Amino acid sequence: MIEGFECSIKVKPVLDWVQEEDERVCHPCLIKPLAEYYLGTLKEDKADPKAEEAIANLEKAWESADVLTIARELDKIKSEVGNNLRKELVALDCFTQSYE
pLDDT the model gives residue 32: 92
Q: Which sequence spans correspond to the domains of the chain? A: 14-97
Asked whether the CA dihedral 71, 52, 96, 88 is positive or negative, the reply is positive
Residue 93 near residue 14, CB atoms below 8 Å: yes
Residue-wise pLDDT for 8-63, tens only, equals: 889 999 999 999 998 989 999 999 999 999 999 999 987 888 899 999 999 999 99
Q: How far apart are CA 49 and CA 62, in angstroms?
A: 21
Quick: pLDDT tens for 80-96: 999 989 999 999 999 99
pLDDT of 48 reads: 86
Give the pLDDT of residue 4.
67
Give the integer Cα–Cα distance in Å for 97 and 41: 18
